[in-house]
Structure 1
Amino acid sequence: MAHAERLAHVRYVGEKELAGALPGADALFVWDFLSGALADAWPAENGPGWVHIASAGVDRLLFPGLVEGDTVVTNSRGIFDEPIAEYVLGLVLAFAKDLHTTVRLQAERRWRHRETEPITGARALVVGTGPIGRAIGRRLGAAGLAVTGAGRTARDADPDLGVVHPMERLDEALSEADYVVLAAPLTPQTRGMIDAAALDRMRPTARLVNVGRGGLVAEPDLVKALRAGRIAGAALDVFEDEPLPPSSPLWDLPNVIVSPHMSGDVAGWRDELVRVFTGNLDRFVSGRPLRNIVDKRLGYVGSQP
């Protein structure tokens, strides 16, 4: 943050000091993107004119006081695209090649030969057509999977996702996929989109991969579907409650891969987050248009300046 400190007076605060630090501040960098403290601390007047968050998702910032005011919100879009795409490919390979079972059998010193699945020609549906979803589509397509997408706008020949189904027809698209990858933002429209009805539409051999937000999935419905064998497995990097409580049944299901919200966190990611913020701080101080401006009504970045 040395560059930021050359541009502005920087004050570092925790949740307890936040309410006292916000009035009169020009800008706020939200480093803990999972914290909900900002909603409680937000001042009725004289709050920051610009809030930047150290994540691509901004759902924690979309409380009424911030959405309805004039404060500009920006995110860290662009940092996590390729790392998350690589992670998703790794999860697809883990399922297809049964690697999680191999690791478990090795720990038990058991020799059990199995046949595995090809990924070439397997069908992947990527839900979410932003930069992360597009990077996932490119990576899976390069590995030989047949990729389609689902998003707000239907398209027939998307360069990264092929056919993009409108979200209104998501149920139809789910029924055709071997892998369903969630990379959508969490909004009122997407919350709980993968519920019992959606899971019933999926193929019994299909796997669900969630690298978007935990709230996209109705977790109790997913647990029931996995236990009943209505889908073959799930790989979850995000959860409604994080950290995932030790009491969650997801820990013990043999057809589930649990990871601690780490799919985009490669070596150097913290430095990249600071770089994006300080680049925008340069623009803010000099009066130039900010990058990665979030449409607060939609819940994600719109057109770029």
Structure 2
Amino acid sequence: MDSLLFDELRASPVMVTNAHGVFDRPIAEFVLASILAHAKRLHESMRLQRDHEWAHRETTLVRGQRVLVVGTGGIGREIARLLRAVGCEVRGAGRRERAADPDFGTVVRSDALVEHVGWADHLVNATPLTPATRGLLDAAVFAAMRPEAHVVNIGRGASLVEADLLSALRAGRLAGASLDVFQTEPLPDDSPLWDAPGLVVSAHLSGDVTGWRDRLAEQFVANLRRWRAGEPLTGVVDTRLGYVPGAGATGSP
């Protein structure tokens, strides 16, 4: 919603809805694929194949890997459910700390990430872009992570400080990153991110599975019918917060 909301809209009585639920599963599958590709060194295998080089290596077992998902809305929750299904240990990071969450178990405060990221093998950003999440993943967060850790960003490019990530990767303070979103899109040809060690670039496609436009249209038509019938709409955005509160389960991003 960050590209749509402006001060006059926030202050107005206009109701805004979004595509809540449409992209949850596709993005969760993309995150799982990113974690599997990193653990099984698939991108490295592609480079070796290109160079016609046979190099035996050992890979990492995904079962038992620890994943901290930043953002506990619908997308974050679907990520958590899917990763738990393959045996990962998952925690969440959101606005409020809590225990016994149905999807995350433990939820820590996202404004205290530095205190918690050292636990994780994978750090996944699934937050909407708000003033609280802009630049959330920065040098302090990367410095607190283990050098074997992997960062996945499918939220918004501006939530991650790209220069700080680049420095961490070049210095070997992180093992890798999978970025689907960037501060500038398309990613400029001369961006150093293209050649950063351990970084995988994808073109903001994590939620775009075949048929996604049809699902959006169906959702819009269903909400239009509710509006014409005077019924409550689905996916109503809190324009002050910038997202659908309570998305996916109790609690909010």
TM-score range, shorter chain: over 0.9
The answer on 1:169 being equivalent to 2:109 is no
Superposed displacement of residue 65, structure 1: 2.0
- Cα displacement (A) at 1:202: 0.9
Give the alignment partner of residue 225 of structure 2, picking from 282, 293, 298: 282
Post-superposition shift, 1:158? 1.3
> How much has 1:122 moved relative to structure 2?
1.2
Between 1:135-144 and 1:284-293, the stretch displaced more is 284-293
Q: CA RMSD in A?
A: 1.2
- Secondary structure of the residue aligned to 1:148 is strand
Confirm or deny that 1:81 pairs with 2:30: no
User: What corresponds to 2:8 in structure 1?
Assistant: 65
Matched, 1:96 2:39: yes
**5+ long unaligned stretches in structure 2:** 248-253
Alpha-carbon distance, 1:188 to partner: 0.2
- Post-superposition shift, 1:303? 5.4
Q: Could you tell me whether the CA contact under 8 Å between 2:97 and 2:107 is conserved in 1?
A: yes
* Corresponding residue number in structure 2 for 1:180: 123
Structure 2 distance, partners of 1:302, 1:176, is: 27
CA distance in 2, matches of 1:228, 1:143: 31
**Cα distance in 1 between the residues matched to 2:112 and 2:162:** 22
- Equivalent pair of 2:170/2:197 in contact (CA under 8 Å): no
Deviations 1:241-264 (A, max 9, x none): 111111111111230111011111
AA aligned opposite 1:98: R
Larger Rg: 1
**Larger RCO (CA under 8 A, 6+ residues apart):** 2
In the TM superposition, 1:34-183 aligns within 5 A as 58-183=1-126
CA distance in 1, matches of 2:93, 2:172: 25
TM-score (norm 1): 0.79
CA apart distance, 1:146: 0.8
State the secondary structure of the residue aligned to 2:151: strand
Residue type of the alignment partner of 1:268: G
Q: Which amino acid aligns with 2:219?
A: V
Aligned residues: 247
- SS of alignment partner, residue 273 of structure 1: helix
- Quote the sequence identity (%): 55
Report the 3-state secondary structure (helix = DSSP H, G, I; strand = E; otherwise coil) of the residue aligned with 2:62: coil
Aligned pair partner of 1:242 in 176, 185, 193? 185
Give per-residue Cα distances to partners, 1:123-168, cap 9 Å, x unaligned.
Answer: 1000000010000001111111111110112221112111111223
Instruction: Quote the Cα distance in structure 1 between the aligned partners of 2:94 and 2:126.
Output: 10
1:233 pairs with 2:176 = yes
* Alpha-carbon spacing, 1:303–1:89, altered in 2? closer, same or farther (3 Å): closer
